[in-house]
Amino acid sequence: MDHMAEIRDFLKKLLSSRGDRQPFTDTSSFFLSGRLGSVDAVELVVFLEEQFEIDFSETGFDQSQIDSIEAITSLLQSEKVG
Amino acid sequence: MSVAAPVTPEQFVSQDGGRLANFRLIPRIDTYPRVVAFAQTAAGKIVLLALFGLGLAYSRGQTWWALTLWLVLTTFLPDRRRMLVTIGTLFFTIPVFFLGFTHRQLYIVVLLGSVLVLGATLFWSAAHWPRSWYGRRPVFFFLSGFAVLILFASSIPETTRYYHLVWDFTAILSLYIWFIAYSLLDRKAPDCDPFGLQLGTYLPFWGSTNTPLPKGAAYLRRIEARDAGQLAVTQLKGLKLLVWSILISLFAHLFAQCVHGYLRIPTFAQALSLSVSRTPLPWYTCWASLIAGFFEIIMDFSVWGHRFVACCRMAGFNALRNTYRPLSSRTVAEFFNRFYYYYKELLVDVFFYPTFLRYFKRNGKLRLVAAIFAAACFGNAFYHFVRDLGFIQKLGLVRALVGYQVFVFYCVALATAISISRLRHRGPTPTGFIRGKLWPSFSVGVFYCLLDIFGSTERNYPLTEHFRFLAHLFNVNL
């Protein structure tokens, strides 16, 4: 499974666990739109740390970095994951 | 600490379904294509602004005309919106424009200018030396420095020449610390705004408390309307929210008249005072006071929060609501998020994430609990302690700290409850209206109602008196 698909799958499960079964695209906003919140961000951070070994304590963290699949992909690219 | 359920109204429609859930007291005009199209025309904008101005005249009192005038500018000059926000914020912040120069006004303006210069210096230093000791953790150093300033101020004898100067500077800086903190958090962003635009978010002209509404410049950049269509929808949402704020304020007025006038139920403060003087009201009246006070706080927060966010939306920024259906929360953590969203966001951004991302990475549960305590306990206590500087000046640092015991207990209890709420193993979510919605929401409401007994930062009574009141609610007299 490629990175995008993994992230998409994780976010689909996360949204679903919050009762949100609305569709989303790669540019859909999750946090700024209010679909997901701070603790959901934490779950996503842990997922990215574990799956892609990103260390946010080094890079700094801003919710906008993980606000959409597109944003996450560019974050992974900037960290040169994969 | 979480948005366990979505915050946007649209999602509730999709989740709950049914006619009742879809019923709207205020029609969803922002989804009507004809209304949105009309709101994009010059005539539509004028009508929207006129209606909004009328609403402000009712709800904001004297400053409504100046605020409306500024909203006219941000509406018709969208390319200059961020700059206008900064100018408007400075215009509304510096009262000499309205009141004329007096020595006292000039003195405050000079102190205010010093605070803003300090903010600019901190921002510039963090941006230019990102690898330095300070540049790595500027918010931590800034808040620690502010704590040291309070220590210094409280150590100066009242007879000293500089006593009032130091305290006045500290008081004005205390108004801005969380705004400066957001600027410092924004310094690493590739599209970080210059300090001039950051300034527009410092007690912005649409209104704010010490808590930045809605967050800092980074958030404003991302929620700004990009075209005429987005602006129309955002402004229609703003108008709706202002109407909602007015309706809640009218209801709150009727509620207070009915409860405290017709039913003669005392306020919580009165009930607590009678308990302290050993002439307590009957336990059921104390419950009534507590519950009425709980509802009044929620309505009060909704009224001003909706008004600020409505003005922010009218200026072209599609901010989320500050308070969104807190009584429908199914967990303690969810209520905290829904009741005062931007305060929760502040605690999360400044205390939760830094702790979570740095410490106890190998132990998931400990990591989460530590971060929750850093935000809901330490951050919450720190925020209120430095906000209420008057107590420190009046009582002295030690007595102010000792008197703070009640609110510290509140913070510990809140953080513990949120931690349990987040860590508790959950089986399948109960279904049905009573088990799935009513009972969880009722339990959460009762918890926060009881917690409110300890929610005072006034330092009037010791912790034991608050526990005495709590026991009396269950007809146990200590």
- Interface predicted TM-score (ipTM): 0.84
Residue B340 tokens read as 């005062």
Amino acid identity for residue A67 in this structure: D
Helix axis angle, B283-314 to B439-451, nearest 10°: 100
CB contact under 8 A, B218 and A19: no
CB contact under 8 A, A37 and B2: yes
pLDDT tens digits for B124-171? 999 898 888 898 899 999 999 999 999 999 999 988 989 999 999 999
End-to-end alpha-carbon separation of chain B, Å? Answer: 35
B interface toward A at CB cutoff 8 Å? 1-8, 11, 14-15, 185, 188-189, 218-219, 222-223, 320, 333, 337, 344-345, 348, 352-353, 356-358, 361, 364, 368, 371, 422
pLDDT tens digits for B18-52? 566 677 888 899 999 999 999 999 999 999 999 99
Closest by Cα among B449, B448, B364 to B414: B448
pLDDT band at B101; cut points 50, 70, 90: low
Asked if B121 and B114 count as a contact pair (C-beta separation under 8 A), the reply is no
Asked if B318 and B215 count as a contact pair (C-beta separation under 8 A), the reply is no
pLDDT tens digits for B103-115? 777 888 899 999 9
Asked if B288 and B265 count as a contact pair (C-beta separation under 8 A), the reply is yes
Closest by Cα among B237, B223, B198, B220 to B89: B198
Q: Tokens 């490629």 correspond to what residue?
A: A2
Q: What angle do CA A73, A76, A78 make, to 5 degrees?
A: 110
pLDDT tens digits for B408-459? 999 999 999 999 988 875 656 777 778 778 888 999 999 999 999 999 878 7
Closest by Cα among B216, B88, B190 to B130: B190
**What pLDDT is attached to residue A1?**
54
pLDDT tens digits for A48-63? 888 888 888 776 787 8
CB contact under 8 A, B337 and A37: yes
**What pLDDT is attached to residue A65?**
84
Rama region for B32: left / alpha / beta (φ>0; ψ in -120 to 50; rest): beta
A23 touches chain B (CB under 8 A): no
Helix axis angle, B64-76 to B283-314, nearest 10°: 40
Closest partner residue to B218 (CB to CB) among A35, A45, A62 is A62
Residue B194 tokens read as 């210059």
Q: Let me know if residue A24 belongs to a domain.
A: no
CB contact under 8 A, B356 and A42: yes
User: A65: domain range?
Assistant: 3-17+29-78
Q: Let me know if residue A70 belongs to a domain.
A: yes
**What pLDDT is attached to residue B14?**
44
The full set of domain ranges for chain B reads 90-223, 239-473
Q: Let me know if residue A62 belongs to a domain.
A: yes
Query: 3-state SS of B216-229?
Result: CHHHHHHHECCCHH
| Residue B1 distance to chain A (closest CA, Å) | 6
Backbone angles phi, psi at A19, to 5 degrees: 80, 15
| Residue B222 distance to chain A (closest CA, Å) | 8
Query: What is the mean predicted confidence (pLDDT) over B196-205?
Result: 93
A65 touches chain B (CB under 8 A): no
pTM: 0.89
Asked if B221 and B227 count as a contact pair (C-beta separation under 8 A), the reply is no
Q: What number of residues does chain A have? A: 82
B-chain CB neighbours of A67 within 8 Å are 222
Q: Which residue does chain A place closest to B369, by CA atoms?
A: A39
Domains contained in chain A, number: 1
Interface test with B, best of A42, A57, A61, A75 (most B CBs within 10 A): A42
Task: Give dist(CA B72, CA B65) in Å, integer.
Answer: 10
Residue B224 β-bridge partners = B317
CB contact under 8 A, B3 and A37: yes
Residue A77 tokens read as 């690219």
Does residue B243 sit in helix, strand or coil? helix
CB contact under 8 A, A38 and B7: no
Q: Tokens 């979480």 correspond to what residue?
A: B2
Q: Let me know if residue A57 belongs to a domain.
A: yes
Find all residues with CB under 8 Å of B370, minimum gap 6, and list them. Answer: B355, B356, B359, B360
- Distance of alpha carbon B470 from the chain centroid: 27
Backbone angles phi, psi at B395, to 5 degrees: -95, -20
Task: Give dist(CA A59, CA A45) in Å, integer.
Answer: 12
A24 touches chain B (CB under 8 A): no
Asked if B256 and B299 count as a contact pair (C-beta separation under 8 A), the reply is no
Q: What number of residues does chain B have? A: 478
Task: Give dist(CA A52, CA A80) in Å, integer.
Answer: 10
Asked if B373 and B419 count as a contact pair (C-beta separation under 8 A), the reply is yes
Q: Which residue does chain A place closest to B352, by CA atoms?
A: A38
CB contact under 8 A, B11 and A22: yes
Q: Let me know if residue A74 belongs to a domain.
A: yes
Q: Let me know if residue A23 belongs to a domain.
A: no
Q: What angle do CA B54, B55, B58 make, to 5 degrees?
A: 90
CB contact under 8 A, A64 and B189: yes
Residue B317 β-bridge partners = B224
Q: Let me know if residue A63 belongs to a domain.
A: yes
